[in-house]
Amino acid sequence: IRSTTVPNVDGSNNTEDDDEDDVVDLAANSLLNKLIRQSLVESSHRVEVLQKDPSSPLYSVKTFEELRLKEELLKGIYAMGFNRPSKIQEMALPMMLAHPPQNLIAQSQSGTGKTAAFVLAMLSRVNTLELFPQCLCLAPTYELALQTGRVVERMGKFCVDVQVMYAIRGNHIPRGTDVTKQIIIGTPGTVLDWCFKRKLIDLTKIRVFVLDEADVMIDTQGFSDQSIRIQRALPSECQMLLFSATFEDSVWQFAERIIPDPNVIKLRKEELTLNNIRQYYVLCENRKDKYQALCNIYGGITIGQAIIFCQTRRNAKWLTVEMMQDGHQVSLLSGELTVDQRASIIQRFRDGKEKVLITTNVCARGIDVKQVTIVVNFDLPVNQAEEPDYETYLHRIGRTGRFGKKGLAFNMIEVDKLPLLMKIQDHFNSSIKQLDPEDMDEIE
Ligand code: ADP
């Protein structure tokens, strides 16, 4: 695959284009997820399928060969190291590649193989002899568009005549340019501009339309309406596909407005549980005292890797400095970092370059804690009303029941915060034992 017209974008947010104004954390989190993802995310749940025509046979595939793909595409898939379709792909791919094309709404958590699935669908439907846009993919930000484009380029490595173009701000195409690239990936605002104002893309010739990250999309002002305007101009035989990691009512309503007669596929997320986590708390007087307790724990047991959560950036910074001065190898992950910086810190941590990662709430969600044996709440998670933030507690400490290993969690508690901890204990109906930090024998 060749990709010309690599956009020249600077990554800053101050632009006159209203395209990516107001980019919310959802998009940043999603990008971070993609940057740090190394493999498929598993789920023990079954894929739920709702067919638009329940009487038609339901196909699923266990191998990529069964899909009768073009040779060069199959080669691309294997070159990416894929051996067999993921759970969601088993059901989604036969629908997406069916003749006549079927529309699809698919929801499954990030990392389950949605992008790979629709990229495969786009690549398999491109006619390389035709030099005009045939597939259109909308993404919420230009960074996410580029990520998808990279997957197209990798999977399409052997599809030498397929070309990708990015309709994103900063990619200036001279007026009157004849766009010959078959796959267009872009953000709604710029795509709208290219289609209606600048007439660079003829929507009536598009045969696959993908709306990716629908949940992030509807969270961005104006993107739903712009997407719908684009969709309205597509031919009725165009295949329409929508993907989302989450599925609140608002996403569902949007999906139903934009995808006519859809099949629906859902894969529920693996729930987090505290069952296989031993939880402890240490009563402390103040911050220094908490730090001392932390050092005792650290010295008292063999620790693989640990994540320490603080409630504020300031606390996180303070703790990082303290630990560094005491000779520990720690790194700090906090909200003021760019997504790329966060990704690189997480990567270093995964590679074992640092044994301790100190972080704030902002970043808690993006991290896969599989290899981490210990989680420390240096501060308890609380919400604005100073009530316990149960969800965050679960996200920091919980593991998925089937895939998670056993873990240890320590809460550093100032005496006046003890009632909060008790509430957390009651809420999850799981015991949090008090620990004397001078006596680590209690743990093992
Ligand atoms: P999603 O779009 O749902 O977040 P992706 O398509 O990005 O998921 O896939 C997540 C990760 O799994 C990526 O690293 C991707 O390369 C990989 N992946 C996708 N499909 C397969 C497969 N069938 N076999 C192995 N790895 C896969």
Under the banding of pLDDT at 50, 70 and 90, the label for residue 363 is: low
pLDDT exceeds cutoff 90 at 251: yes
Determine which of 11-25, 105-119, 256-270, 387-401 has the lowest per-residue pLDDT on average: 11-25
Over range 72-91, report the average pLDDT: 96
pLDDT exceeds cutoff 50 at 5: no
Q: How far is CA 113 from CA 106, 120, 159, 178, 248, in A?
A: 11, 11, 21, 33, 20
Mutate to test the pocket of ligand 1, among 47, 82, 137, 267 (most ligand atoms within 8 A of CB): 82
Sign of CA dihedral 126, 128, 132, 137: positive
Over range 68-88, report the average pLDDT: 96
Which tops the pLDDT comparison, 406 or 195? 195
Which tops the pLDDT comparison, 273 or 253? 253
* Percent of the chain residues topping a pLDDT of 70: 89
pLDDT exceeds cutoff 50 at 62: yes
Looking at residue 365, its pLDDT comes to 60
CA of 310 to the centre of ligand 1 (A): 32
Q: Whose CA is nearest to atom 10 of ligand 1?
A: 111
pLDDT exceeds cutoff 90 at 176: no
111 lines ligand 1 (CB under 6 A): yes
pLDDT exceeds cutoff 60 at 53: yes
Q: Coil, strand, or helix at residue 308?
A: strand
Over range 66-78, report the average pLDDT: 96
* Helix pair angle (114-125, 87-96), 10° resolution: 20
9 lines ligand 1 (CB under 6 A): no
According to the per-residue pLDDT averaged within each range, which of 20-34, 152-166, 285-299 is highest? 152-166
Q: What strands lie across the sheet with 183-186, from one edge to the other?
A: 47-50, 262-267, 103-108, 239-244, 208-211, 135-138, 183-186, 164-167
Looking at residue 369, its pLDDT comes to 59
CA of 116 to the centre of ligand 1 (A): 6
DSSP codes, 407-421: EEEEEEEEGGGHHHH
Looking at residue 209, its pLDDT comes to 98
Atom of ligand 1 nearest to the CA of 109: 3
pLDDT exceeds cutoff 70 at 187: yes
Closest CA to 102 of 52, 151, 27, 41: 52
Mean pLDDT of the chain: 87
Looking at residue 159, its pLDDT comes to 95
Over range 230-242, report the average pLDDT: 97
Closest CA to 272 of 431, 425, 398: 398
pLDDT exceeds cutoff 50 at 440: yes
Over range 149-178, report the average pLDDT: 93
CA of 273 to the centre of ligand 1 (A): 25
CA of 41 to the centre of ligand 1 (A): 8
CA of 111 to the centre of ligand 1 (A): 6
Over range 415-442, report the average pLDDT: 88
Atom of ligand 1 nearest to the CA of 212: 2
Amino acid (1-letter code) at residue 418: L
Q: What is the ipTM of this complex?
A: 0.99
pLDDT exceeds cutoff 70 at 11: no
Query: Pairing between strand 399-400 and 272-273?
Result: antiparallel
Looking at residue 311, its pLDDT comes to 86
Looking at residue 20, its pLDDT comes to 26
207 lines ligand 1 (CB under 6 A): no
**Whole-prediction pTM:** 0.85
Over range 168-196, report the average pLDDT: 92
Question: Are the C-beta atoms of residues 123 and 156 closer than 8 Å to each other?
Answer: yes
CA of 113 to the centre of ligand 1 (A): 4
pLDDT exceeds cutoff 80 at 144: yes
